[in-house]
Chain A
Amino acid sequence: MSEEHAAHEGPSYFKTYVTLMVLMFLSLIGAWIGKEVGILAITLVSAFGIALVKAYLVAARFMHLNIEKRYIVYMLTTCLAFMFLFYTAIVSDIQNDTGANWTKPQWIEREAAWADGTWVDPNPVEHHGDEGGHGEEAEHH
């Protein structure tokens, strides 16, 4: 048996799979609790914190990045870092409503309406459904 093969058999694939499933359901429960008690941080940590752990497990245990040549990890993280670098250059244009020589009047108006609870969808749907969250359009307060 090769050294790589032996390393693959370290943590059981099935145990990793069960862990992923448990984490998936924990993220749903956490998000539900966050919504029920009205604390956004619980929802975000449950959703994205657990997603990061799941992503690590898939990358390390299923894709075997934990035993892969290190330069593969560096290659992938370099691409990830550049992707974020590109976004830091444009994030201010997206997140701000005014700049040195520009403004977003419609955005300012819409966000103000959203903040004081008077926002209405300019393109409302004609009929409302009832499955899985459909039809809960426009009402936010």
Chain B
Amino acid sequence: MSATPIATGRSATGIGTGKLAVWWLLASEIVIFGGVLVSYMLFRLSHGPWAAHSEATNLYIGATNTVVLLTSSFFAVTAHKYAEEGNGKEAAKWLWFTIGGAALFLVFKSIEWSIEIGHGFTISRNTFWSFYYTAAGIHASHVIAGALLMVWVARSAARGEHLHRVENVGIYWHFVDLVWIFLFPLLYIAK
């Protein structure tokens, strides 16, 4: 009996099944992140003291992490370009650069949270900081998940296998970047 996986070989929808699954995943993520972000906006607009609380977020680290994520997105789309050309080794190399971006983001995030917690801004301090750590924490967990997925995809891409997964994981990574594009002004700029 053949062990060929049928899920990657058929496409009545016009696009690969794996890629469609990623789009469905992101559709559900829109509701998760959208819920958190819109809740934050509603509370921020209706609670004056949140302006004072938000003064304590670290704009420098937030901006640095924005640069890191945008750069890693560029690396991910470059990996996709090489995967389309059938160059698995180059695709894997650029995916590893993307993973490096994810690691750097997490390092900066750890430093930022350490400073904030050290100043007494913990998750239980007030509702603002609960939202802050929840939103940034859910996002950071997606960064970790994306980095682990990219390790898996980069290893197979380096062998020239399953190159379509480079695009799939890239789409997920761009979404993680997209969420940060809105988190950055919400948590760090609009003070």
Interface residue ranges, A against B (CB under 8 Å): 2, 5, 8-9, 13-14, 16-17, 20-21, 24, 27-28, 31, 35, 43-44, 46-48, 50-51, 54-55, 58-59, 61-63, 68-69, 71-72, 75-76, 78-80, 82-84, 86-87, 91, 94-95, 107, 110-111, 114-115, 119, 121, 123, 125-129, 131-140
Contacts and interface: CB of A to CB of B under 8 A. Distances in A.
Given A125-B121, A133-B56, A69 B74 contact: no
A125 B120 contact: yes
A80 B74 CA distance: 25
Nearest to B33: A83
A65 B133 CA distance: 31
- The A interface is mostly helix, strand or loop, or mixed, namely helix
Contacts of A123: 125-126
A47 B34 CA distance: 17
Contacts of B23: 72, 75-76
Given A24-B63, A51-B181, A58 B73 contact: yes
- The B interface is mostly helix, strand or loop, or mixed, namely helix
A16 B118 CA distance: 38
A68 B51 CA distance: 40
A131 B61 CA distance: 10
A55 B55 contact: no
A18 to B, nearest CB: 9
Interface in B57-84: 57-61, 63, 66-67, 70-71, 73-74, 76-78, 80-81, 84
Interface of B: 13-15, 23-24, 26-28, 30-31, 34-35, 38-39, 42-43, 45-49, 51-53, 55-61, 63, 66-67, 70-71, 73-74, 76-78, 80-81, 84-85, 115-116, 118-121, 125-126, 170-171, 174-175, 177-178, 181-182, 184-185, 189-191
A137 B177 contact: no
A21 B178 contact: no
Contacts of A21: 67, 70
A51 B68 CA distance: 16
Centre residue among B42, B120, B170 by max chain A CB count within 10 A: B120
A134 B52 CA distance: 11
Contacts of A51: 181-182, 184-185
A114 B119 contact: no
Contacts of A24: 63, 66-67, 70
Contacts of B126: 123
Given A21-B70, A69-B14, A94-B43, A111 B48 contact: yes
Nearest to A49: B185
Contacts of B14: 69
Given A63-B178, A76-B27, A114-B48, 11 more contacts: A24-B67, A31-B190, A59-B178, A79-B31, A94-B42, A121-B52, A129-B115, A132-B59, A134-B119, A135-B56, A138-B52
A43 B189 contact: yes
Contacts of A129: 115, 118-119
